[in-house]
Copies of this chain bind each other. A is one copy, B any other.
Amino acid sequence: MIYTQPILTVWITHLIENYALLKQLAPQSIPAAVVKNDAYGVGIKRVVPALYQQECRHFFVAHACEGSLVRSLAPDACIYVLQGMGDDTLSLFHKNHLTPVISTPSEWIFWKQNAIPAIKPILNVETGLNRLGFRQSDLALLSESDKKQFSYIMSHLACADEAQHFMNQNQLTLFDQISALFPNTPRSLAASDGVFLGAPFQKEMTRLGAALYGLNTAPYRQNKMKPVLSVQAPVLQTAFVPKGDYIGYGATYQAPCDRRIGIVSMGYADGLCRSLTGRGRAFFKEEELRFVGRISMDNVMCDITDSPDLSQGDYVDILNDTYTVDKMAQDAGTIGYEILNGIGKGSRFHVIEK
């Protein structure tokens, strides 16, 4: 048989198991799902209905346009927009009943001028990441009455994937001090990685993103999450490459001895980062196949010399249960989040949902 298209399997069953496990780890907290960036690449249209069925009613997105899509799938959910509300998105907020996360005094003033009935925004405060959020000096601009207008007060940890990092305790202490100024306002501090830091970090609502999608956000311990993506790609051609021949663009790889290669139908267009050149691998029946030559847009060449039974039409594993998104990220010199983003968004896969 001849096959040409790579296959992406999205394990919705694993997503649901991950969600259940994360809820168990923070049993006192409301679990919110972070589905920004098309659910980290996994697909808002797949993820939101599945979690909604599990009674998830709190969703975080980055942009209002993403919130609008979530609204169409979760009619009665709270949908929080991390980038906040702007002149460019005001109509989307009103139309779709979105909740802004407010990170600057100007946004707070803008909100008061354009408030949406029955919506209470979230206040985001800065505690050490030095990204979005009210600075401590900004807090004085809020009146006592203002301080009662928020549905949650939140902050975001910078180093929660390192359990022993000094920043965690610093941020927790500062967050506790600041949130004490907002009595009766529920709090949210932990994203996935923060959940693993234990109860003091979990507060009233957790924001579950990366770990939902199978990433190991607590790399100091074994990953308890199940992978949500697996990928197989077909071998379009096998070929003999004599010693001394070059492989791929720029002729950067020269065969040190006679080699057999497989030309695999997946490239950086499909999220196979070009930085995996010379460092990435595929798998065929437990055999590891090293990438040889530069990864191109639609293809990658693998050394199949030690897999004599591999032939045209066979599929190789690009991501599987043991070679996960996190492992590929390590090979590529990045983090699992960026890999997930690239592969999940690939539009040329045959997609199977399980």
Which one of A11-19, A139-147, A179-187, A331-339 is at the interface?
A331-339
The complex places the Cα of A348 from the Cα of B63 at a distance, in Å, of 7
Chain B nearest Cβ from A33, distance in angstroms: 15
The complex places the Cα of A295 from the Cα of B293 at a distance, in Å, of 29
The complex places the Cα of A315 from the Cα of B87 at a distance, in Å, of 14
> Cβ of A130 and Cβ of B241 under 8 Å apart?
yes
Chain B nearest Cβ from A104, distance in angstroms: 5
Copies per assembly: 2
> Cβ of A274 and Cβ of B334 under 8 Å apart?
yes
Interface centre among A2, A89, A129 (most CB of B within 10 A): A2
Chain B nearest Cβ from A160, distance in angstroms: 9
> Cβ of B130 and Cβ of A86 under 8 Å apart?
no
Which of B62, B86, B110, B245 lies in contact with A348, CB distance below 8 A?
B62
Which one of A45-53, A280-288, A297-305 is at the interface?
A297-305
> Cβ of A84 and Cβ of B2 under 8 Å apart?
yes
Q: Which residues of B lie under 8 Å from residue A1 when comparing CB positions?
A: 86-87
> Cβ of A298 and Cβ of B248 under 8 Å apart?
no
Which one of A24-32, A198-206, A263-271 is at the interface?
A263-271
Beyond A5-B88, A338-B268, whether A297 also contacts B62 by CB under 8 A is: yes
Task: Check if A174 is an interface residue, CB within 8 A of chain B.
Answer: no
Beyond A4-B89, A37-B297, A131-B296, whether A104 also contacts B341 by CB under 8 A is: no
Task: Check if A83 is an interface residue, CB within 8 A of chain B.
Answer: yes
Beyond A83-B265, A236-B83, A251-B165, whether A301 also contacts B130 by CB under 8 A is: yes
Task: Check if A345 is an interface residue, CB within 8 A of chain B.
Answer: yes
Which of B248, B298, B341 lies in contact with A268, CB distance below 8 A?
B341
The complex places the Cα of A245 from the Cα of B167 at a distance, in Å, of 11
> Cβ of B261 and Cβ of A88 under 8 Å apart?
no
> Cβ of B274 and Cβ of A335 under 8 Å apart?
yes
The complex places the Cα of A83 from the Cα of B2 at a distance, in Å, of 11
Q: Which residues of B lie under 8 Å from residue A165 when comparing CB positions?
A: 251
The complex places the Cα of A85 from the Cα of B135 at a distance, in Å, of 58
Q: Which residue of chain B has its CB nearest to the CB of A342?
A: B342
Contacts of A100-120 to chain B: CB distance below 8 A: 103-104, 106-107, 110
> Cβ of B341 and Cβ of A297 under 8 Å apart?
yes
> Cβ of A103 and Cβ of B158 under 8 Å apart?
no
Task: Check if A159 is an interface residue, CB within 8 A of chain B.
Answer: yes
Task: Check if A77 is an interface residue, CB within 8 A of chain B.
Answer: no
Q: Which residues of B lie under 8 Å from residue A246 when comparing CB positions?
A: 128, 130, 158, 167
4 smallest beta-carbon distances between A and B, as pairs = A37-B269, A4-B86, A2-B86, A62-B298
Q: Chain A interface (Cβ within 8 Å of chain B)?
A: 1-5, 36-38, 40, 62-66, 82-89, 103-104, 106-107, 110, 126, 128-133, 135, 158-159, 162, 165, 167, 234, 236-237, 239-241, 245-251, 261, 263, 265, 268-269, 273-275, 293, 296-299, 301, 312-313, 333-335, 337-338, 341-342, 345, 347-348, 350
Knowing that A5-B83, A297-B337 touch, tell me 10 more A-B residue pairs with CB under 8 angstroms. A37-B269, A103-B236, A126-B239, A128-B245, A129-B249, A130-B246, A131-B296, A158-B250, A159-B250, A275-B333
